[in-house]
Amino acid sequence: FLIGRNALVTGGTSGIGLAIATALGRAGARVAINGLGDGAQILAALTDILAEGATDARHFPADLRDAAAIEAMVTDCTAWGAPDIVVNCAGIQHTAALADMPAATWDAMIAVNLSAAFHTLRLTLPGMAARGFGRVVNIASVHGLVASLNKAPYVASKFGLIGLSKVAALEYAAAGTRSSGGVTINCLCPGWVETPLIEPQIAARAAAVGGGRDEGVRELLREKQPSQRTSLPEEIAQAVLWLCRAESHNLTGAAIPIDGGWTAQ
Ligand code: NAD
């Protein structure tokens, strides 16, 4: 159902972003990915996306801490194919008590997790509105809805991302028509998803209980995620596809938890 659509996925070289890029490609989209990684990792990601059926796939480099680099990346990507779907999935994490959090870590996390989405939105939403169709899916977190200890910049960035998305949803609510599909902007708010991002936290929990990786995962889940199950990146990707459907034209400005009941408590 996405044949003829162009998608841009930040964080598309790893974890949840790679699964989303692959799923969008499988649904027929041409897929642009941004993300860090060496040549081999980027080539492997593009090969995966194409093998799953994407009409075309390309990597557009930019360090998302750099606003000018983001602008150049979106300009190049738009020349290749104006994005109809933008998924802001790039993100970084570092846990430390607020007073011990390096200021440079705060700046980097706000830049990658929040400001980068502001830039991709301001550069792509006008085009979506002009064409009458657009889908933005921002990968926030349960930490955009509730706080946890030792995550000041992460929680601040994710609350900010949800706020940014709500403003964008209001500003573009009347763009397009039912038949063109409209322009929607939403956040997904996952709990624990098994990707490289959470491995340091799994390792810290495993060390605290003197166990292996399985014990580390169990400890993380036991604390906050009532389902006691992690999510897989592919499961988050299915929610992105649902938001991209024509029938989802009135689903905008939402922050949807995929958290096994974490934020229901
Ligand atoms: P990951 O580490 O596997 O992927 C992160 C991606 O961001 C990579 O592609 C990386 O290259 C990219 N990135 C990081 N810094 C960048 C920079 N400066 N410039 C360009 N790209 C950069 O992590 P993931 O778990 O797949 O995380 C994806 C998103 O999901 C993040 O926004 C994260 O906050 C969010 N999230 C993850 C979980 C989880 O449990 N894994 C839960 C909730 C939300």
- pLDDT value, residue 116: 99
Q: Ligand 1 centroid vs 88 CA: distance in angstroms?
A: 9
- pLDDT value, residue 36: 98
- pLDDT value, residue 246: 96
ipTM: 0.99
pLDDT digits (tens, 9 = 90+) for 80-128: 999 999 999 999 999 999 999 999 999 999 999 999 999 999 999 999 9
- pLDDT value, residue 167: 99
Catalytic residue among 60, 133, 154, 262: 154
Mean pLDDT, range 193-212, rounded to an integer: 96
Q: Ligand 1 centroid vs 138 CA: distance in angstroms?
A: 12
* 172 flagged as catalytic: no
Q: By the 8 A CB rule, do 136 and 186 touch?
A: yes
> What six digits make up the tokens of 55?
């009409």
- pLDDT value, residue 179: 96
- Torsion angle in degrees (nearest 10) through CA of 246, 247, 250, 254: -90
- pLDDT value, residue 254: 99
pLDDT mean across residues, the chain = 98
Q: Ligand 1 centroid vs 182 CA: distance in angstroms?
A: 28
- For the chain, the straight-line distance linking the first and the last C-alpha, in angstroms and rounded, comes to 36
- pLDDT value, residue 24: 98
Alpha-carbon distance of 117 to 241, in angstroms, equals 19
Quote the percentage of the chain above a pLDDT of 70: 100
pLDDT digits (tens, 9 = 90+) for 176-202: 999 999 999 999 999 999 999 999 999
Mean pLDDT, range 20-31, rounded to an integer: 98
Residue nearest to atom 8 of ligand 1 (CA): 11
In one letter, which amino acid is 258? I
CA count, 13 A, side-chain hemisphere, 186: 23
- pLDDT value, residue 90: 98
